[in-house]
A = this chain, B = another copy of it.
């Protein structure tokens, strides 16, 4: 199967498929007649895995580790869970940071008239 079809079936852009190959996240696909890549059903499976892991916010580095574990039938689920839990912790921290921003901003915004007048507590808050 050519790269366009692989892209359609996996949801990963052709550009990114080539990129994943270049960083060795994906084994180099054999070339059909020495120019076009030829993907297998297995490749699609891997691409879908990557796609889902990325959608869950895992970094490429984490995805690489997860793929390693996924392929290793003798893995311990402990290792997978550790990566996942670390990622969850990271996500929660980011959420907290963003929520802090929102609450500060809402606090500033709720005192701002938002009309023609130049007086603005938001700018005052930023300028102190």
Q: Which residue of B lies closest to A102 (CB)?
A: B91
> Which residues of the partner chain B approach A85 to less than 8 Å between Cβ atoms?
109
Is the pair B120, A75 in contact by a Cβ cutoff of 8 Å? yes
Is the pair B123, A69 in contact by a Cβ cutoff of 8 Å? yes
Q: When chains A and B are docked, how far (Å) is the Cα of A56 from the Cα of B92?
A: 17
Q: How many chain copies?
A: 2
11 A-B contacts (beta carbon < 8 Å): A48-B128, A57-B98, A66-B126, A75-B118, A75-B120, A77-B112, A81-B120, A87-B105, A91-B101, A95-B98, A98-B98
User: Which A residues lie at the B interface, using CB under 8 A?
Assistant: 45, 48-49, 52-53, 55-57, 66, 69-70, 72-78, 80-82, 84-85, 87-88, 91-92, 94-95, 98-99, 101-102, 104-106, 108-109, 112-120, 122-123, 125-128
List the 4 closest A-B pairs by CB distance, nearest first.
A81-B114, A77-B120, A57-B101, A76-B116
